[in-house]
């Protein structure tokens, strides 16, 4: 496939891995990939097992599904079960556990829950069902927020009044700061979330080298993108540099997408604080609809319980999201908590560190190496 295969070329990968080994000089380096999309790529292509052993990847908080706290899922289920409501959601959220059930179970109980690929689909459902209330479950970082914003602009323009948004959009910089303030983690640098940067650019990360002395390289989502970003990080460390660099030049401009940022400013405003799964309340980390779009805000249109539900005791999603522990170090990983019966959010989305490790990485370096003996064709 053009524009994909080039970034999965095994010969180029071998050269990159070799160079990472040489440049890092055997020194132990620990990098966090902030974005769940990167976590997914790393496990799906088996990147961890081909990296030199001294380079360690730690999985970060950038999985939109993983950071939604239980109370918000309960609110979503409550909305879905209100009479006359069609509740629309991305597929990933359907199996995320609330305190007693999930959206898939609510659907089986009779709620009209529909999976959509885009908020525009939800708006179309609203236009086709003028006698019903259609609510869209908006989640995600700055990557998905612009599409929600555009949808709201269109809803306003077309005067669609039976549509509303249950907004759970969050921003990427506050949790990165929260992680850096966490005393139990030592990191040498960050692999920056490329898709978020297509919107916000690279400038918002400048505080990392300036205030915390950590380099960041914004990276694309193919395996070679990630290897190149790691190489750029170990080069910075070798050369004693500490900068924000851009590996994903084919998609990311330093200033980001100015038009998208404008629309975000028009439609959303920062909440004073927002609760994150496992990380607790983080100030100025969540978005809500601005005054001008208050008529489309599901939290204002409907009564929702809005109750804070504590994370299950057994679940260590918070430590996993902060990269303090590896998925397999969680006490319930793989036994009580599996992709079929997830306790924590990290086990639900394919971008969650636990689900990615469970589904793709559940074997040792040695087993991986022995499996790599080529398959004989005949």
Partner 1 sequence: MSEAAPEPEEPEGELPKSQEEVVLERIERFRRNRPRLRDDFINSAHGAGGKASAALIDAVFVKAFANEALAPLTDGAVLTLPSGERLAFSTDSSVVNPIRFPGGSIGHLAVHGTVNDVAMMGAVPAWVSAAFVLEDGFPVAELRGIVADMKEAAANAGVQVVTGDTKVVNKGSADGLYICTAGVGLIPADVHLDARSVRPGDRVLVSGTIGDHGVAVMLARGELGIEADIQSDTAPLGGLVAALLAAAPGTRWLRDPTRGGVATVCNELARDADLAIILDEVSLPVRPAVNGACEILGIDPLYVANEGKLVAVVPPEQAEAAVVALRGHPLGGDAAVIGEVRDDPPGMVVINTTFGGNRVVDMLAGDPLPRIC
Binding segment for partner 1 among 87-95, 212-220, 250-258, 312-320 (CB under 8 A)? 87-95
CB closer to partner 1, 122 vs 237: 122
CB closer to partner 1, 22 vs 369: 369
For residues 140 to 159, the per-residue mask of contacts with partner 1, x marking binding by CB under 8 A and - elsewhere, is xx-xx---------------
Q: Does 240 bind partner 1 (CB under 8 A)?
A: no
- Residue 209 CB, nearest distance to partner 1 (Å)? 26
For residues 335 to 364, the per-residue mask of contacts with partner 1, x marking binding by CB under 8 A and - elsewhere, is x--xxxx-------xxx------xxxxxxx
For residues 4 to 33, the per-residue mask of contacts with partner 1, x marking binding by CB under 8 A and - elsewhere, is xx--xxx--xx-------------------
The helix-helix angle for 119-128 and 145-158 (nearest 10°) equals 20
Question: Tokens at residue 77, please?
Answer: 């289920």
Q: For residues 216-235, which are near partner 1 according to CB under 8 A?
A: 223-224
Question: Tokens at residue 281, please?
Answer: 């309340």
Residue 141 · residue 193 · CB < 8 Å = yes
Q: What does the alpha-carbon distance between residue 236 and residue 189 come to, in Å, rounded to a whole number? A: 10
Exactly one of 24, 33, 38, 45 binds partner 1 (CB under 8 A); that residue is: 45
Number of residues that bind partner 1 (CB under 8 A): 71
Q: What does the alpha-carbon distance between residue 57 and residue 190 come to, in Å, rounded to a whole number? A: 10
Beta strand ranges found along 80-188 (DSSP E): 85-89, 112-115, 133-140, 163-169
Strands 280-283 and 273-276: antiparallel
- Residue 277 CB, nearest distance to partner 1 (Å)? 16
Residue 349 · residue 339 · CB < 8 Å = no
Q: For residues 89-118, which are near partner 1 according to CB under 8 A?
A: 90-92, 94-95, 104-105, 107-109, 115, 117
Look at residues 105, 60, 71 and name the one whose alpha carbon lies nearest to residue 312: 71
Question: Tokens at residue 268, please?
Answer: 């959303």
Helix (H, G, I), strand (E, B) or coil at 85: strand
- Residue 369 CB, nearest distance to partner 1 (Å)? 9
- Residue 292 CB, nearest distance to partner 1 (Å)? 26
Q: What is the DSSP letter of 208?
A: I
């Amino acid at each position: 496939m053009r524009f994909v295969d080039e970034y999965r070329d095994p010969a180029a990968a071998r050269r990159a891995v070799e160079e990472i080994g040489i440049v890092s000089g055997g020194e132990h380096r620990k990098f966090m990939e902030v974005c769940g999309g990167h976590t997914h790529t790393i496990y799906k292509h088996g990147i961890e097992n081909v990296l030199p052993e001294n380079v360690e990847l730690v999985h970060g908080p950038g999985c939109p599904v993983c950071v939604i706290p239980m109370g918000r899922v309960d609110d979503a289920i409550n909305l879905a079960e209100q009479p006359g409501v069609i509740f629309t959601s991305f597929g990933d959220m359907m199996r995320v556990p609330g305190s007693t059930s999930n959206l898939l179970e609510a659907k089986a109980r009779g709620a009209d829950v529909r999976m959509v690929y885009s908020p525009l689909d939800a708006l179309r459902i609203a236009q086709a069902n003028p006698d019903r209330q259609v609510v869209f479950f908006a989640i995600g970082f700055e990557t998905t927020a612009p599409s929600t914003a555009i949808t709201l602009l269109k809803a306003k323009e077309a005067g669609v009044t039976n549509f509303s948004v249950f907004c759970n959009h969050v921003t990427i910089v506050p949790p990165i700061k929260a992680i850096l303030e966490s005393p139990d983690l030592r990191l040498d640098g960050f692999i920056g979330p490329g898709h978020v940067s297509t919107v916000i650019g690279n400038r918002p990360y400048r505080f990392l080298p300036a205030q915390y002395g950590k380099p960041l390289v914004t990276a694309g989502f193919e395996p070679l993108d990630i290897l190149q970003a790691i190489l750029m990080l170990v080069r910075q460390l070798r050369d004693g540099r500490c900068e924000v660099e851009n590996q994903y030049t084919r998609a990311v401009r330093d200033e980001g997408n100015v038009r998208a940022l404008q629309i975000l400013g028009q439609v959303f405003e920062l909440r004073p604080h927002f609760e994150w799964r496992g990380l607790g309340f983080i100030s100025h980390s969540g978005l809500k609809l601005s005054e001008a779009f208050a008529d489309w805000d599901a939290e204002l249109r409907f009564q929702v319980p809005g109750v804070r539900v504590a994370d299950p005791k057994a679940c260590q999603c918070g430590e996993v999201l902060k990269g303090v522990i590896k998925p397999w170090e969680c006490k319930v990983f793989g036994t009580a908590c599996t992709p079929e019966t997830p306790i924590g959010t990290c086990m639900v989305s394919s971008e969650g560190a636990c689900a990615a490790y469970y589904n793709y990485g559940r074997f040792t370096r040695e087993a991986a190496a022995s499996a790599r003996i080529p398959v004989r064709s005949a």
